[in-house]
Amino acid sequence: MSQPISFLTQSLEKTTLTAVSASPNNSYNARSLSIPSLKPTKTLKPFSTGDVKILLLENVNQTAINIFEKQGYQIEFHKTSLPEDELIEKIKDVHAIGIRSKTKLTKNVLKHAKNLVVIGCFCIGTNQVDLEYAADQGVAVFNSPFSNSRSVAEMTIAEIITLSRQMGDRSIELHQGIWNKVSAKCWEIRGKTLGIIGYGHIGSQLSVLAEAFGMNVLYYDVLMIMALGTAKQVSTLEELLNKSDFVSLHVPETPDTKLMFGTPQFAAMKDGSYLINNSRGSVVEIPALIDALKLGKLAGAAIDVYPQEPAKNGPFFNNELNSWTSELQSLKNIILTPHIGGSTEEAQSAIGIEVGSALTSYINEGTSTGAVNFPEVALRGLDLDQDNAVRVLYIHQNVPGVLKTVNNILSDHNIEKQFSDSRGDVAYLMADISGVTSEDIKSLYEELNATQYKIAVRLLY
């Protein structure tokens, strides 16, 4: 192959054509399902990595920046989220964007992203992204579902102890010069029952930590999940609420979990129990929580997430944001934290590595393993001795006859390996073909781009 083709990114009417280098790749991507090869493999990588533009918002961790800098990508970094009009302007030309929980990538924003290939959510949740619209445009979305699980579980244990001993109130009093040494209604957590709603990665880790403190653990989940330690799964949410001294929420944001915790659920809880919400702000009906605390039904609560949260740090948590804010702030034995469950150095470092590696792998190799809105497809790397080989990445509408059409286009070349999968209305084909000359590449690109049900195409060589 003589002249490399520059890195272009297009979707729907616009198609991505990517040239790649052929240097050895010794890196390991833990998320990849590629079959290990005994031979050294080529690095599938844009020939001119300087053409790849990445926008990073909300102070994404330095570990991710290091990964992107090593690739030679152009990086624009901001410590905060951006107003929608500025975000729309910034996103027009970038190939990848990295965000955390505050940036909203709605359809209105994404429709301006003409070159966007991939989105990285450097957090657990992805509800801030219009996942379906992104998939329909051929944009894969990655997150980090595991990396901050320990951080959230540890904070929950700290909150359980703090609430049980009323340490938050005593600390506030002493800061005000008030000495109030009391033991009334202050309890050890040993022997108490913790009810965990949602026994996933965080809930199960919390279960293990709680047992180490001598607590009894019950959990409720919509799925049957094997217990860790001596924890017991209960069949109904009501049973968990009736029996638990502490109730901790660890569920995702879905239509089923929105406002799942309101007046009936508080009524079902034990008198003098505690609620902890480190999951999503939409899960708890805050006015009902305020009533339960005022009436003495609950002895305390810890809240880390809210229906509306400020876009940046500063004096913005007030009644203009949520009408009940000042009333919530006035209550006794309630811990209010600014969505910091996963905000530890260890968690953010691990998230940066996990999501940064996933984005790089998708840009350079087409590997979509771990994508939350997209078919998960991966192939083992190309061998170093495979000259004139091209990797075809073809995203298309999931309708009959597409693969027949594509394979007819590829039929003049030897298909070394191929994998296709679908998710909803979107399908993704990855194929390595050999015997491709530089003259063939333009022809392949034009033919694939002209197919009826194409969403996006990339060629890596």
- Kindly tell me the burial class for residue 386, based on how many C-beta atoms sit within 10 Å of its own C-beta (0-12, 13-18, 19 or more): middle
Domain termination residue (choose one: 316, 336, 356): 336
Q: Total structural domains in the chain?
A: 2
Residue 384 has pLDDT above 60, yes or no: no
Q: What pLDDT does 12 receive?
A: 35
**Given 280, 391, 413, 458, which residue is catalytic?**
280
Choice among 339, 391, 396, 413 that is catalytic = 339
pLDDT digits (tens, 9 = 90+) for 10-22: 333 333 333 333 2
Confidence of residue 439 (pLDDT cuts 50, 70, 90): confident
Q: Is 305 exposed, middle or buried (0-12, 13-18, 19+ CB in 10 A)?
A: buried
- Catalytic residue from among 154, 211, 238, 309: 309
Instruction: Give yes or no for residue 28 having a pLDDT over 50.
Output: no
Query: What φ, ψ does residue 287 adopt, rounded to 5°?
Result: -55, -35
User: What CATH number did the domain enclosing 98 receive?
Assistant: 3.40.50.720
* 190 and 247 inside one domain: yes
Q: Which structure tokens are listed for 455?
A: 């969403």
Is residue 311 situated within a structural domain? yes
Residue range 73-92, pLDDT digits in tens: 999 999 999 999 999 999 99
Q: What is the pLDDT of residues 304-335, one digit of tens each?
A: 999 999 988 899 999 999 999 999 999 999 99
Least confident among 76-80, 109-113, 252-256, 315-319: 252-256
Averaged pLDDT for residues 269-279: 98
Asked whether the CA dihedral 6, 7, 9, 15 is positive or negative, the reply is: positive
pLDDT at 42: 57
Where is mean pLDDT largest: 191-195, 341-345, 440-444? 191-195
> Residue 218 pairs with which residues in a beta bridge?
195, 232
Is 319 found in the same domain as 189?
yes
Residue 34: is its pLDDT beyond 50?
no
| 369 falls within a domain | yes
Q: 280 an active-site residue?
A: yes
User: How much is the pTM?
Assistant: 0.79
> Among residues 336, 358, 378, which one ends one of the domains?
336
Report yes or no on 39 lying in a domain.
no
Give the CA distances from residue 310 to residues 27, 112, 348, 382, 422, in Å, rounded to whole numbers and listed in that order.
38, 25, 20, 47, 37
246 in Cβ contact with 160 (< 8 Å): yes
Residues 189 and 107 in one domain: no
Region 445-449: mean pLDDT is 93
pLDDT in tens, 165-191: 999 999 999 999 999 999 999 999 999
Average pLDDT of span 112-139: 95
pLDDT confidence of residue 442: 87
Cα–Cα dist 92/61, whole Å? 23
pLDDT band at 299 (very low <50, low <70, confident <90, very high): very high
Mean pLDDT of 225-245: 97
Where is pLDDT greater, at 366 or 8?
366
- Same domain as 188, residue 88: no
Tell me what pLDDT residue 435 has. 86
149 CB-near residues (< 8 Å, 6+ apart):
201, 202, 205
Cα pseudo-dihedral 309, 311, 317, 323, rounded to 10:
-50
Residue 68 lies in a domain: yes
Query: Do 323 and 350 sit in the same domain of this protein?
Result: no
Q: Is 250 annotated as catalytic?
A: no
**Exposure on the CB side of residue 411, measured as CA atoms within 13 A:** 7
Rounded Cα distance between 255 and 263, Å, is 18
Give 45's pLDDT tier (boundaries 50, 70, 90). Answer: low
Q: So what's the pLDDT on residue 381?
A: 78
Q: How far apart are CA 433 and CA 440, in angstroms?
A: 11
Residues 265 and 405 in one domain: no
Domain assignment present for 367: yes
Closest CA to 363 of 68, 86, 64: 68
In this prediction, residues 239-264 reach a mean pLDDT of 96
For residue 445, being part of any structural domain is answered with yes
Confidence (pLDDT) at 461: 77
Q: Cβ contacts of residue 442 below 8 Å, gap of 6+? A: 5
Geometric angle at alpha carbon 443, from 439 and 446, rounded to 5°: 145
Is there a catalytic annotation at residue 345?
Answer: no
Nearest to 194 by CA among 279, 298, 275: 275
Q: Are residues 284 and 184 in the same domain?
A: yes
Contact (CB, 8 A) for 456 and 138: yes
The domain containing residue 330 runs over which residues?
A: 149-336
Question: How would residue 388 be classed by pLDDT, with cut points 50, 70 and 90?
Answer: confident
User: DSSP assignment of 220-242, as one string?
Assistant: E-SS--PPSTT-EE-S-HHHHHH
User: Is residue 46 over pLDDT 60?
Assistant: no
| Final residue in a domain of this structure, among 336, 370, 388 | 336
Do 396 and 425 lie in one domain? The reply is: yes
